[in-house]
Amino acid sequence: MSLNEPSTAIDDEQRRRIGEAMTQADLALPQVWLHYFSITGTVDEYEIDAYLNRMIALPPTECDKLAHAVNELIDDIPPRPRAPFRDEISP
Residues contributing to the site for another protein (CB under 8 A): 28, 30-31, 33-34, 37-40, 44-45, 59-61, 64-65, 68, 72-73, 75-77
> Could you tell me the smallest distance in angstroms from the CB atom of residue 22 to another protein?
13
Would you say 31 and 80 are in contact if contact means Cβ atoms under 8 Å apart?
A: no
Q: What gap in Å lies between CA 26 and CA 13, rounded to an integer?
A: 20
- For another protein, which is the closer residue by CB, 26 or 88? 26
Q: What gap in Å lies between CA 20 and CA 22, rounded to an integer?
A: 5
> Could you tell me the smallest distance in angstroms from the CB atom of residue 9 to another protein?
21
- For another protein, which is the closer residue by CB, 72 or 90? 72
Q: What gap in Å lies between CA 42 and CA 38, rounded to an integer?
A: 10
> Could you tell me the smallest distance in angstroms from the CB atom of residue 39 to another protein?
5
